[in-house]
Amino acid sequence: MPHPVELLELRSTRTALYELWLLALAGGLLGTFVVLRRIAFFAHAAGTATFPGSVLAQAASFSPRIAALGMALGYAGGVERAGRSGRDPGDAATGLLLVAALAGGVVLASDVFESSASVDRLLFGSAIGLGTADLAFSATAATLAALGVLLLGRAWTAVAFDPGGAPSLGLPAQRTDFALLALVGFSVVAALPAVGALLVTSIFVVPAAIARLFAGSVGSLVTIAVGIAALQGALGLYLSLWLDVPPGPAVAVVGASVYAVAALARTRA
């Protein structure tokens, strides 16, 4: 097994680690409200919905990131509008969307454009090849997430705990809903190169779900979630390099394992 210090001497490893830590900040901050608002399925769907668009963009020599961003923000707008009009399609329709997006992307990549070699990278991410542009995009996502929590965290918390009473406090629930969904969508797109479209929930749901087992307040939930996400990212990256697997599955396995141990410890406490 290579020593961690030896791995950190590689520029690609340091870049991947910085990327995962930036994503940990965005994921921990926004993941807190994803868990409190019970929209984990949305975070997963937003990632998967970008997959066919990314395949099409690659085939057309267009920026996959711009295509993914357009699809993620469009999906966020559609979800917010459906909820506002009372025509929320629910989990069943979202599940159908996930199946259609995943199957459609695979068919396009393998049979239409014959680019199946890129499927693993799009679905599960890659620790190799991350660069300055990826860091800059993730830094932007982390900054926007921090600003969102500072400016709208009170409103998101109020809507999470008392959706019906939030408007009486003068909080624009509909606009804050869309802001949260849009920020999650933006951050999900930032996470695609590192963890892939299929496993973004490992950053935006799992750390906050673990933190909620122990946190006694929203503030502590945010702090613990960010810390867990950062540790999960570092351990997952090391595991992916050691086992020579994509970082997305490695980060997800670490997160799921920590959650299982934490939940078991919580039940026995």
The CATH number of residue 168's host domain is 1.10.3470.10
CA–CA dist 74, 123 (Å, integer)? 20
pLDDT-derived band at 178 (thresholds 50, 70, 90) equals confident
266 Cβ neighbours under 8 A, 6+ residues apart: 213, 214
Question: Token pair for residue 246?
Answer: 């994509």
CA–CA dist 169, 191 (Å, integer)? 34
Tell the residue number behind the tokens 């620790």, with chain if given. Answer: 127
Q: What digits encode the pLDDT tens for the residues 107-146?
A: 766 655 555 556 677 778 887 778 899 999 999 999 999 9
CA neighbor of 10 nearest in space, from 138, 129, 135: 129
Instruction: Specify the pLDDT at position 220.
Output: 94
| Residue ranges in the chain assigned as alpha helix (H) | 4-8, 11-36, 40-59, 64-85, 90-107, 119-124, 132-161, 173-195, 201-204, 206-212, 218-243, 247-268
Q: What digits encode the pLDDT tens for the residues 33-75?
A: 999 988 888 888 888 888 777 777 776 777 778 888 887 888 7
Q: Are 182 and 76 in contact (CB under 8 A)?
A: yes
Q: Are 210 and 228 in contact (CB under 8 A)?
A: yes
Mean pLDDT for the chain overall: 81
If one counts the domains in the chain, the total is 1
Residue numbers of the domain that contains 262: 4-268
